[in-house]
Structures are given as C-alpha cells and as structure tokens.
Amino acid sequence: MSTKLERTIARNDEKIAAGEFYDAHQGIRTVANRYVKQKAYNDAIEVLYKGAESLLKAKQYASASDLVLYIFEVYTIAEIPVDSVSRNRIISLIQLFDVHEPTLVKISNEAETWSGKFGPVSSGDAILHNLFGTVFAKADEGYEAEKNLLLGTKESAPVLGKMLFDWSAESKDAPQDAPLFLSRGVLGYLGTENIRDATVCAQTFLNAFDVKHSPATNNVEAAGDSVITTYDAYPLFNFLQLLILACRSKNPETFKRLHTRYAQQLSQLPAWTPALEKIGQVYFGIVPKRQGNMLEDLMGSFFK
C-alpha cells in the first residue's frame, strides 16, 4: 500500500471517528472513482474496503452497504476472480453488518452475480451463499436464507434443516403440515443433485421434530444397510426419506414404486410435481410426459 493511499485511508478514518459520516462516505466514493478512472483497481478496492469497514464499526450500515456494492462494481470492471482474498474481503465486511440490515439482500444478489461470472460455478460461490444464508436465517428472512443455503456448503444443510423446522413450528397447521416444510429442503437439494445435504437437512429437521412432538415411529431397514425412521401419522416424512434413498440407488423401478405407493398423498400436492419430474429425469432418466396440445392432437389425427 502506497504512502498516499495510507494517508487517504487515515484521513477517512479520522472523519468517521469524528462522526462526520456523510463527508467521509462521499470522500471515499470520490477517491475510489478517481482510482477507477485511472484503472488503479486494487487501490480503489482497498479504499472502499477500509472505508466500509470503518463505517460498519461505527454502525453506519447504509453508507457501508453502498461502498460494499461499489466493491462488487469494481470487482466486475476489473474482472477480479473469486479467490480467498477477494472472497474473504467480502466475508469480513458482511460479518460486521446487523443481520436485519435491509440492503443485505441486494448485496447478496450482487455477490451471486459477481461470483457466478468470475468463479467456477455459474450459480455463485458456495461459501458466500452459506455466509448470506446463515445471516438471513438469523434474521428470520426465510426465503432469502433458503435460496442461499440450498446453494451453499455442507455447513448449510443443518442450518437449513433447523430453520425449516422452526418455520414449520410457527404454522397455524403445525405439526400436521411439517412435511411440507421439510420438502423445501429435500426437494431443493435433490434438484441440485446434492444427496448428501438432502440427507443432513432431513436428519436435522426430523431430530428436532422428534424432540418436540415425540411422534409414534418405527425403525425400518429400507435398503441394504440403510435404516430410516418411519412415522405412523406422517406418511410424507416417510416418502421424503425413501426418495433420498431412491436417488442414491438411481434405480428407476424403485422411484416408480415409490410414486405408486404414495400416489394418493402426491395427488394432493401438485406443487411438488415439477421438482419430482426434474428428480425423475436427473437421477432415473425418466422424461416427463409432454402436456398434450388439443389442436396438435386433432391435427395429428387427421393425418393418421
């Protein structure tokens, strides 16, 4: 870091310490703009990072979030790749935010866009997804948490399982509709070909459910050495556990038998159909039936 840059950062810190937050914020943006025009991207990032850090420590979350968003803008202009340095810079800043800061949603979206473009995975960096998912779970932002945790790391699965259980406990139809909440994690993970985390999410949820409700259960040997806990009053818990095992086996007949066995329950859940069709295609090579087009069917019959 050059002496000039060090002096600039020190001057900004003095303003923030004196409570001159607006002047400091505007000054940081002005300096960063100048560095960007000079294509001195590393200096721009450094002044933005240090400024955001100081503002966050002063609990000036809105001003800090503006600078964090500018960091992503510079990352994109400079085509900064996702690596331990660029990622850890973001992690250290996000950890200083109040979890209820509303601009975190926008920051999360920008993190996904940047890391999806300049990282190895188009859906975004898993470590950053885990970071934001965990933050949103603490803030009771269920939808944002779910979206990120499903694309996160192995540490995300128990967080999602616990959050979905807590979410289910707040339902007016609890505990009867608890399987619907668990399905969000199981079907979501299986849809991204993540059997490991579908399993952990289910185990976390069901363990919490057992502690709270002490339901009637049985331990059943399902396949090979696999043992699952079946629930007398909650057949969809059984279906979701067996679905995970079926995906592990990749046996189309197992999947079809499972569908047949729970046809009555599944017929009442059309919202599950797209996810199950995708799972059928990904794991078992079962192509969904194309929805019939009445006009095409009629025209086809004329030429038979």
In a domain, 181, yes or no: yes
What does pTM read for this prediction?
0.91
In a domain, 275, yes or no: yes
Q: What is the mean pLDDT of residues 92-115?
A: 99
Per-residue confidence (pLDDT) for residue 291, from 0 to 100: 56
**pLDDT band (50, 70, 90) for residue 223:** low
Q: How many domains does one find in the chain? A: 1
Burial label, 191 (beta-carbon count in 10 A; 0-12, 13-18, 19+): middle
In a domain, 91, yes or no: no
Domain extent at residue 248? 154-304
For the chain, what is the HEC assignment? CCHHHHHHHHHHHHHHHCCCHHHHHHHHHHHHHHHHHCCCHHHHHHHHHHHHHHHHHCCCHHHHHHHHHHHHHHHHHCCCCCCHHHHHHHHHHHCCCCCCCCCHHHHHHHHHHHHHHHCCCCCCCHHHHHHHHHHHHHCCCHHHHHHHHCCCCCCHHHHHHHHHHHHHHCCCCCCCCHHHHHHHHHHHHHHCCCHHHHHHHHHHHHHHHHHHHCCCEEEEEEECCEEEEEECCCHHHHHHHHHHHHHHHCCHHHHHHHHHHCHHHHHCCHHHHHHHHHHHHHHHCCCCCCCCCHHHHHHHHHCC
Answer yes or no: is pLDDT of 240 > 50: yes
Per-residue confidence (pLDDT) for residue 301, from 0 to 100: 43
Question: How confident is the model over 13-62, as pLDDT tens digits?
Answer: 999 999 999 999 999 999 999 999 999 999 999 999 999 999 999 999 99
**pLDDT band (50, 70, 90) for residue 84:** very high
Look up the CATH number of the domain holding residue 251: 1.25.40.10
CA distance 163 to 155: 13
Picking from 161, 163, 115, the residue whose alpha carbon sits closest to that of residue 137 is 163
CA 65 to chain centre: 20
**pLDDT band (50, 70, 90) for residue 226:** confident
In a domain, 88, yes or no: no
